[in-house]
Amino acid sequence: MNPIIGWLLAAIGVAIGWNSWGWYGVVLAVTLIAFWLTLQFNRALRVMRAAASAPVGHVDSAVMLNAKLRRGMALWEVIALTRSLGQRIDAVDERFRWADPGGASVTLQLSRGRASTWQLERSPE
C-alpha cells in the first residue's frame, strides 16, 4: 500500500473516531493503527528471519522465480518469494542476483525499491 494512502486512511479513522465517540474514538483509532503497524512489522521480521537461514543469492529454481516475478514488486516481496537475500551486484543501480544449483540465475533491477526489469540467464549445457 502507498504510505500516503495509509496515513490518509489513519487520519480519516481518527477523525471518524473523534466525530463518533470523542476521545474514546480517538483512542480506539490510535489503538487500531498501532495494531496494524505491529502486524506489518511482524510480517517484515518473519520474511527476514526466513531469509537469514538461507545462503545469500540462492534460490531453488531460477526459472520458477523468473515466472513468478511481476513488475512493481517490492524488494521484501521478492525476498519472501525466494526465501533468500539476493547477492548485490551493483549498489548504485540496485541490481541483485539469485542463482539455483543448476547454474541458472535471475538478475533483478530495482527502481526505487520496486522490481523494474529482470533477466533469466541459463547455464550453458
For the chain, which domains are there?
3-51 (no CATH), 56-121 (3.30.1450.10)
Residues 6+ apart with CB under 8 A from 57: 84, 85, 86, 87, 96, 97, 98, 99
Q: What is the pLDDT of residue 51?
A: 86
> Strand 114-121's sheet: what is its strand order?
87-90, 95-99, 105-111, 114-121
pTM over 0.85: no
Mean pLDDT on 87-91:
85
Residue the block writes with cell 463518533: 20
Q: What is the pLDDT of residue 52?
A: 86
Tell me: pLDDT of 92 over 90: no
Q: Which of 83, 63, 81 lies closest to 123 in space, CA to CA?
A: 63
Task: For the chain, give the percent of residues with pLDDT over 70.
Answer: 98
Task: Pinpoint the alpha helices (H) of the chain.
Answer: 3-21, 23-52, 62-68, 75-82
**Which residues make beta-bridge pairs with 28?**
none
Mean pLDDT on 93-103:
90
Cα distance between residue 92 and residue 100, in whole Å: 25
